[in-house]
Chain A
């Protein structure tokens, strides 16, 4: 089962290794990992998609929290969120064979970002299934995919910053600790759709 974790970590050398090493020790395969600056200075935001047994989320999260460099961890589970990924795809194309690819790109709302005599490069942003879809269509027929570069999945929860959550963050802000609004801060009383993260949950 695919688990998605969003971790806020110290922006220091070696943190990436520590996190990756943890997954290695737990024998969990990382499907994708993307990291970059967050809204706070000195804090990086990591999104990790890992293949692990259902129900292992608690242990992974607990183990991540044990790392001194990890400031907060959110196990996205089934929670309502926006997922995006970016891919650059280079396809073999001559002036004669370009046009069908342009049309495909338009259907998928991908952009042509490079044109060369023998190839062109597409840029596409979206959910995984959209990117997988374009790749599949491109690989059918006579097209030759020369290179694919993908960023890995990035995730952000939909609008959970209610005033109650903001208050919790303000308290934690004064202690200089970043906080990801999780089910713990939100609580079910906020009337948001909060899933337990359990794939067998009836909702």
Chain B
């Protein structure tokens, strides 16, 4: 790690506020930032050349935030986004809200007009701290250069403590221009007090252990918190010791290997039928780092009616928010699992797991993957083939919609931090910029974007960023000419009234070509693997435009107001299964 004199000074050095920003970021271990310059942040950009930090210029500040988000999800480090005041700051808002909903550690730095004119509706002035109050863990306004280092260091601490989240630091132009003494070590924030309502007392732990040992039909619900707490090994040990099947939230996919015999895959609104049925039949749910989101529970009144619930969660305000639980264990997941494991002796009883497997029933017959395509190209087939071609090892960044759900169903993730997707907010346009962040964070990993034609169009301008930064990102556009998920809801719930969901897109291959990115269009199943191979052997970015079945639906689906086991299933329709697409060993 190269060090410039300004970054690790133990003797205070006199620097401008702008220099202090970069020096503090470098001291916090930041190597890459995503941003877009502007008037109120000119001093900051002027000072950048003195510091060993890479700045990635995006094409829209929303994408700077998404890129910082993707960077954080892929690496586990704090993502940093930078924008100017006024419209630059407001353009960050969607990206900040996306990070807030999925608990992603992020620090956003915005320029602000000079403190002398604050509050006068100056040019490009906006109250960004007021606007982002509900969507940040905390935010700051800095008007003096001597406050920059302590505030930034505290921002990093807040972003990464407890339940992670985005923090915004608004720095006025005169603070960037003023001079102050900089001492990185002295600027260290006070240790963050842990949330005072953490509680995993011995009697609660004992009760949890008793419930776990006596349960006949337990299920582990694995969520994003497993990865944030690095508790994958502990979770796996618990599951294997007692042969407990593991269901996953969307954001939890990859924390428990999909190929493991105990893995059930995703649960909830578009989870496989047998997973949700198993939950409804279970007698104990061990919820690990998940928050019982409405996409996961179906209608709350009838959720898991026979199950006791243990909730291991670091944020006390999530306890009993949606689902009343029997034993809350409020603290760090890994530590709590480590306290529980010594009391769990191995047991070989696969009765429950056999029962769950038999719930699969005729699911294979209804799985589009196993149905003859009759000449149509289905997204599920595309994603299944992509999964096989990449050996399930790529970092996949999805956008939002039907393709997102098909990805969760058909791309089996074996390791953590390999699925980047906007779960809580469901932000269309997330995929391409987040993939940029992921590729910068993990340059040696294969990164695939899977986006729908709707979402891809929202942030397609970032193709220029891909080219400018020489990023070898592979892009799969699942193109059906519709805003698919909305169309599906209109089909099922609004009596087929397709209102404003038919969408015309540019020829994405030509669009990519205009950026100097090669591409291919795929219309038939037989063309999928060759196109994917072309993408993978290309020395730079590559876009594949998959023209898929226009009116396909994600099955199963739990309609709003339905219970978890009241799923709409794909009609079995006399199709016979194709052997070719059955599960590989």
A residues contacting B by CB (< 8 A) are 14, 17-18, 21, 25, 58-59, 61-63, 65-69, 72-73, 177, 184
A14, A62, A69: the one contacting B197 at CB < 8 Å is: A62
Q: Pick the 9 closest A-B CB pairs, nearest first.
A: A62-B317, A62-B316, A68-B138, A63-B317, A62-B197, A21-B133, A65-B195, A59-B317, A25-B134
Chain B: minimal CB distance from A7 (Å): 12
Secondary structure at chain A's binding surface: helix, strand, loop or mixed?
helix
Contact assessment for B193 and A177 in the assembled complex, using a CB-CB cutoff below 8 Å: yes
Give complex CA distance A66, B129 in Å.
17
Contact assessment for A17 and B319 in the assembled complex, using a CB-CB cutoff below 8 Å: no
* Chain A residues with CB under 8 A of B137: 66, 68
Number of interface residues of B (CB under 8 A): 17
Chain A: minimal CB distance from B192 (Å): 9
Contact assessment for B195 and A66 in the assembled complex, using a CB-CB cutoff below 8 Å: yes
B534 within 8 Å of A by Cβ? no
Contact assessment for A59 and B196 in the assembled complex, using a CB-CB cutoff below 8 Å: no
B320 within 8 Å of A by Cβ? yes
Give complex CA distance A162, B433 in Å.
58
A66, A69, A72, A73: the one contacting B315 at CB < 8 Å is: A66
Give complex CA distance A62, B291 in Å.
15
B463 within 8 Å of A by Cβ? no
* Chain A residues with CB under 8 A of B138: 67-69
Q: Look across to chain A and name the residue whose beta carbon is closest to the beta carbon of B199.
A: A184
B321 within 8 Å of A by Cβ? yes
* Chain A residues with CB under 8 A of B320: 58-59
* Chain B residues with CB under 8 A of A177: 193
Instruction: List residues 89-146 of chain B with CB under 8 A from any CB of chain A.
Output: 129-130, 133-134, 137-138
Q: Look across to chain B and name the residue whose beta carbon is closest to the beta carbon of A66.
A: B317
B residues contacting A by CB (< 8 A) are 129-130, 133-134, 137-138, 158, 193, 195-197, 315-317, 319-321
Known: A14-B129, A177-B193. A65 touches B316 (CB 8 A): yes
Chain B: minimal CB distance from A24 (Å): 9
Known: A58-B319, A59-B317. A65 touches B197 (CB 8 A): yes
Given known contacts A58-B319, A62-B315, what 16 new A-B pairs fall within 8 Å (CB)?
A: A14-B129, A17-B130, A18-B133, A21-B134, A25-B134, A58-B316, A59-B321, A62-B319, A63-B317, A65-B316, A66-B137, A66-B195, A68-B137, A68-B158, A69-B138, A73-B196
- Which of A68, A73, A184 has the most B CB atoms < 10 Å from its CB? A68
Q: Look across to chain B and name the residue whose beta carbon is closest to the beta carbon of A179.
A: B196
Chain A: minimal CB distance from B105 (Å): 15
Chain A: minimal CB distance from B191 (Å): 9
Give complex CA distance A67, B139 in Å.
10
* Chain A residues with CB under 8 A of B317: 59, 62-63, 66
**Could you list 9 examples of A-B contacts with CB < 8 Å?**
A21-B134, A25-B134, A58-B320, A59-B317, A59-B319, A59-B321, A66-B315, A68-B158, A69-B138
* Chain B residues with CB under 8 A of A68: 137-138, 158
Give complex CA distance A177, B317 in Å.
22
Contact assessment for B196 and A72 in the assembled complex, using a CB-CB cutoff below 8 Å: yes
Chain B: minimal CB distance from A88 (Å): 32
* Chain A residues with CB under 8 A of B316: 58, 62, 65
* Chain B residues with CB under 8 A of A69: 138
Q: Look across to chain A and name the residue whose beta carbon is closest to the beta carbon of B316.
A: A62
Q: Look across to chain A and name the residue whose beta carbon is closest to the beta carbon of B133.
A: A21
Contact assessment for B195 and A62 in the assembled complex, using a CB-CB cutoff below 8 Å: yes
Q: Look across to chain A and name the residue whose beta carbon is closest to the beta carbon of B137.
A: A68
Q: Look across to chain A and name the residue whose beta carbon is closest to the beta carbon of B130.
A: A17
Q: Look across to chain A and name the residue whose beta carbon is closest to the beta carbon of B136.
A: A68
